[in-house]
Chains A and B, each alone.
Chain A
Amino acid sequence: MKPSFKVVLFINILIASAIIIFVNRIAIQIFLPLQIKQELKTELINYIGECGKFLPDREDFLICIQASEKISLIKGFTGRYVICLEKNTLKQNDACGYSLSPSVKWDGIQSAAEKEIQYAEIKIDKTQWIAGNFYGSTHERAVVLLSLDDMSLEISRMLRAYRDRNTIYVLPVIFLLILLMTWHVFNVAMRPIRQIDKSITTLDLKTFEIKTALVAPYREFLNIVNSFEGLRLRLIQSFEKARRFTADASHELRTPLTILRGNAEALIKDLPNGSNEQIRVQMVISEIDRLVTITQKLLWLSRADANKLHPVFQKINLSDLMGQWVLDAQSFNPNLKLTSEIQPKIMWMCDPDLIHQLIGNLYDNAVKYNVAKGWIHFRLKQNDNGFHFSIENPSSPLPANFEKQAFDRFYRADDAHSRSIDGLGLGLSLCQEIANVHEAQLRVKVSDDGIVTFTLSDSLPPPKDDEIITF
């Protein structure tokens, strides 16, 4: 079974949405630390700007820093920030106890208050620090260090908070929006396809006409619609040409066939009765008659192709028609055992001439493909939906594709190289066309033991008793 485009489209949109969310999360993971780092630098500048004037006096400087609101904000990150004065006495365990490597690369100088500050990320004793290097107004130099590890902790904490907030409040809303959006996008995407599908399904396979005009809803569909329309018009033209050719050929053959048969008929009268010459001329007439039948069938088929079979409907007693056929069939072929189950008084609105032709062709087929000392069984039954008429017979071996191809034109069930059965392969396809104009179904079934059954069924309700006309 083919997968549903609807389902595939839906799944793809969901996957795309999931990828977008994932990428968004990754982007947050990458850009949020950078943003926080930038905020920290700004804070650093601010408190250095405020307290820089106390730089010469370390105690005052510390007091200033501790008193600063900004610092209290930063305290959360650092826990233990350190301020190192040049030439000061360093405490043990103080980061300033380590001399900064001269190779530290300071960032571009930023102006903060009246100070010039440079930044660097440095590693001291396995701890990552961000360092601010600045000069006070009295040209004392100070380096302020903030622990990045502490910052990392803070970043992680913020990320967790962000994720939790997202999980609880934002994600369900996002998912709901994605579902609604997917549904909407799906409908928008499917609308032109549905519109095209609606038009194409009204295509009449016999005439190639479309009942609902096929119009490209958007320019992206222009190519496919134009290609389809081109193909359809081409098919109409080719089909019409082929049909006209068949019809014209069939008409044109009539005049020479008339002359041939007329003269052969005249000749047969002039020849001595029972003479060999007369018999030969009769054989010529028989062949001319076969040609006439073939041209007639071709003409009927071309008419069917053009929807011009024009049946003349009458209400007939199908049971009587079948009964007469069974009687005739019994006299035609006494070597075949004929049996029948015909339910009486089954009425049908049909063209009696066409139906006579249909039954004749099916019967002809049943005789030609029967086995030696075989049988034919006719069955006509009414059920709730309509009637079922069938002709079944045991058959000489048939090709495996018989059921599929039996109604194809020029299809012959017997081997092309050993054809012993007359016919051109037009009879059954004509039967199919006749069934079609009656809106009836003609089917063929071959059983495992070689019994062929042709069934004609109709779904029309039976007429009322007072409408019955004996055929």
Chain B
Amino acid sequence: MNGIKVLLIEDELKIADFVTKGLMAAGAQVTHVTDGATGLKVALEDSHDILVLDIMLPAMNGIELMRDLRESGNSRPIIILSAKVDLEDRLESFQKGANDYLPKPFYVEELIARIKALTRRTSSDSSDEIVYKNLKLDLVSRRVDWQGSSTILSPREFSLLGYLMRSPGNIYSRQQILKHVWAIDFDPETNVVDVCVLRIKRKLNRKNGSPASPIESVRGVGYRLAIEELE
């Protein structure tokens, strides 16, 4: 994410504020404008890597902005942020040139992950693995390498570790993990996340006997990729 230039076009200042902070904390350079007309002008004049665009904007709405931008030959990736979640709205956005669509409310980490995916995709960096320091996850074989040893993860374990690796250091709640890995948005009164994390830890520790683990439990909150352990 280091050095990625993001143009954020969002009229709701309170949303823009935490999104800007989140993106900057992840290493991005953020330019923020609050209306569509200025947004189009800035997008055409400056070279940003990606646009994060709200639809309901003053002066010119996000759909018109995208249309004008695409007609001018600009092919920068665009992520739409919108409170409109109907299928028609999503389809219209994609037809007018959006690359991704993130409905509000969203997690900043989700936005960061999608920005990363889009910029990687557009820069033809189609890597088959996620690497963070000495932790490496193979996206095809579900093999994880850590501290000189490797093991194969089950689909759920792989999905969970991959999710944590999208934003190292960030804490993910159990509910977030359940929603992403098991695709359920209710609380089944389960400790399945804890069980799955425990299994990953055991698999990683079995080979090298090290008590250290790349996954850290944060009491009462959730789990995160422990960046300190990976130093």
On A, residues with C-beta under 8 Å from B are 251-252, 254-255, 257-263, 265-266, 268-269, 273-274, 278-279, 282, 285-286, 288-289, 292-293, 296, 299, 303, 308, 310, 312, 328-329, 331-333, 356, 360-361, 363-364, 367-368, 422, 427
Chain B, residue nearest A332 (CB): B190
Closest Cβ neighbor of B19 among chain A residues? A262
Residues of chain B from 191 to 209 with CB closer than 8 A to chain A in the complex: 192, 195-196
Leading 4 A-B pairs by shortest Cβ distance = A279-B220, A262-B18, A332-B190, A258-B105
| Chain A interface, DSSP helix/strand/loop, else mixed | helix
* A12, B71: Cα distance in complex, Å: 78
Give chain B nearest CB distance to A165 CB in angstroms.
82
B34 to chain A, nearest CB (A): 14
**Alpha-carbon gap, A186 to B187, bound state (A):** 62
9 contacts between A and B (CB under 8 A): A252-B83, A254-B83, A254-B85, A273-B171, A274-B219, A293-B185, A310-B88, A328-B192, A363-B188
CA distance A222 to B42 in the complex (A): 64
B41 proximal to A (CB < 8 A): no
| Known contacts A260-B105, A262-B19, A273-B218; 15 further A-B pairs (Cβ under 8 A) | A255-B12, A255-B15, A257-B104, A273-B221, A282-B221, A288-B105, A296-B85, A296-B185, A328-B182, A328-B192, A331-B195, A332-B188, A356-B183, A360-B186, A367-B189
Q: Is the CB of B104 within 8 A of A254?
A: yes
B170 interface residue, CB < 8 Å from A?
yes
The listed residue (B105, B196, B219) touching A261 by CB distance below 8 A is B105
Q: A258-B15, A293-B186, A328-B182 are in contact. Are A279 and B173 (CB under 8 A)?
A: no
- Contact of A269 with B105 in the complex, beta carbons under 8 Å: no
Least CB separation from A427: chain B residue: B186
The answer for the CA separation of A251 and B12 in the assembled complex, in Å, is 14
The one of A260, A263, A331 that contacts B192, using a Cβ cutoff of 8 Å: A331
Q: Complex: how many Å from CA A90 to CA B185? A: 126
Distance of A304 Cα from B229 Cα, bound (Å): 49
A-B pair count, CB < 8 Å, reads 112
In the bound assembly, the distance between CA atoms of A124 and B176 in angstroms comes to: 120
Cβ of B77 within 8 Å of any chain A Cβ, yes or no, is no
Q: Which of A262, A289, A332 contacts B22 (CB 8 A)?
A: A262
Is A265 within 8 A of B83, CB to CB?
no
B175 within 8 A of A: yes
CB contacts (< 8 Å) of A268 on chain B: these are 171, 221
- The minimal Cβ–Cβ distance linking A187 to chain B, given in whole angstroms, is 50
Query: A289–B188 contact, CB under 8 A?
Result: no
B86 contacts partner chain A, Cβ-Cβ < 8 Å? yes
Q: Which residues of B contact A363 (CB under 8 A)?
A: 188
Question: Bound state CA distance, A257 and B195, in angstroms?
Answer: 31
A299 and B187 contacting across the interface, CB-CB below 8 Å: no
When chains A and B are docked, how far (Å) is the Cα of A386 from the Cα of B202?
45
> CB-CB < 8 A to B139: which residues of A?
none
Q: Do A364 and B83 form a contact, CB below 8 Å, given A263-B18, A332-B192?
A: no
Highest count of chain A CB atoms <10 Å: which of B183, B196, B216: B183
Nearest residue in B to A289 (C-beta to C-beta)?
B175
> Which of B86, B196, B220 has a CB less than 8 Å from the CB of A278?
B220
